[in-house]
Amino acid sequence: MATAASATPAAAFGAKTPGPAPSPQPSPASAFPRPSPRASTPGRLRASLRLGGASATGSSSVVGNASGIHLAAPVLAPLAVPKMSGTVGSQKSVLLFYCEEMRELAEKVVARNDDIELRSITWRTFADGFPNLFISNAHTIRGRHVAFLASFSSPSVIFEQLSIIYALPKLFISSFTLILPFFPTGTSERMEDEGDVATAFTLARILSHIPISRGGPSSLVIFDIHALQERFYFGDSVLPCFESGIPILKSRLQELPDSDNITIAFPDDGAWKRFYKQLQHFPMIVCNKVREGEQRIVRIKEGDARGRHVVIVDDLVQSGGTLIECQKVLAAHGAAKVSAYVTHGIFPNKSWEKFHPDNGGTCTSTFYNFSMLINSLYIF
């Protein structure tokens, strides 16, 4: 998470020198040091995953074997934030607010970072169901760097969180960063027929009107947005920062005992376009979907799976049907192992259950590993 640091006045006045030469005057840069708004990479959200039974710090995974896939409890990675200029004494650099859905994560982030202070919001509703919200100790956040950890997991929670997101920058804070790991309308980014509504554009417009703080426009952090061109849906009043979970995957793949036998597979051309540049040093397989009557069949478009440990990569999973069909066709073409990685696991209507062994010990899919960086912060 990168937050813009506020300018902190410093006593940097030059001393007088003998002779007619005037006293040196402090330059604006030396008198008011202001770091670059871009924080260094250690300031980003970190997480890692576990594949093949070997664990890494700040990770958890879904690990499968011949009998199916088993869920491991998530271990949440710390959120590292660089020290901001202008911190005084023991004062924390960043105040972190959160929605109720992200409470557990926020608490673990603060427990692992000395520079972050957890702040609370009272989430209540009136009798008519509309939100009744209260920001505790609002007067104490003036001049501070503030972040809000959001989750737009359903339309019913978006309005109450937007109310907080719009209120915080107006409390005379130095900077505001919204962390929205999953951009939920990202798959509705275009029109295919007259009358279609691109709701990705709608949500981007709403977030583009977050009020500015003392430090300028608000920052918006999103992980693996569905289509990179969606960055152009946001207005100039917000600074979107698009992160990716792929570096985490690459780091973990290099630690596997069969790292020299890894092939990356994409379930469709869209996933290939989204991620191939980040994974181009691996051999690749591209699949596609073809319609046969009422069925959509997954086939291998290019690449060779024979004898390889194939890792399917995509940005999100809904029902999981496409991943399962990809696994079947890759296994049929001689893959030694098939694993899968996605950044966002949505799973509406409990569709994740198809990745669980049933009572008989069998499973719909036979993935060697199945790992998800859900909401870019949780890994199950």
Instruction: Kindly give the confidence (pLDDT) of every residue in the chain, 380 residues in length, as a single tens digit, with 9 standing for 90 and above.
Output: 444 433 333 333 334 444 454 555 444 444 434 444 444 444 444 433 333 333 333 333 333 433 333 333 333 344 444 444 444 445 779 999 999 999 998 999 999 999 999 999 999 999 999 999 999 999 999 999 999 999 998 999 999 999 999 999 999 999 999 999 999 988 887 777 888 898 999 999 999 999 999 989 999 999 998 888 888 999 999 999 999 989 989 998 999 999 999 999 999 998 999 899 999 999 999 999 887 766 778 899 999 999 999 999 999 888 888 888 899 999 999 999 998 898 888 888 777 777 654 444 334 455 666 555 543 333 32
pLDDT at 162: 97
CA distance 105 to 103: 5
pLDDT at 68: 34
How many angstroms separate the first and last alpha carbons of the chain?
22
CA distance 361 to 244: 35
Helices (DSSP H) in the chain: which residue ranges? 28-31, 103-111, 155-167, 199-207, 246-253, 269-275, 321-332
pTM strictly above 0.75? no
Domain residue spans of the chain: 78-243, 247-379
Query: Alpha-carbon dihedral of residues 199, 200, 206, 212, nearest 10 degrees?
Result: 180
Which of 3.20.20.70, 3.40.50.2020, 3.40.50.10420, 2.10.109.10 is the CATH number of 247-379?
A: 3.40.50.2020
Judged by phi (left if over 0) then psi (alpha if -120 to 50, else beta), residue 225 lies in beta
Q: Is 78-243's fold the same as 247-379's?
A: yes
For the domain made up of 78-243, the CATH class stated in words is: alpha beta
8 A C-beta contact, residue 309 and residue 282: no
Helix (H, G, I), strand (E, B) or coil at 369: strand
Query: Alpha-carbon dihedral of residues 310, 315, 317, 318, nearest 10 degrees?
Result: -150
CA distance 135 to 180: 19
In terms of Cβ atoms closer than 10 Å to its own Cβ (0-12, 13-18, 19+), residue 195 is exposed
pLDDT at 5: 39
pLDDT at 11: 35
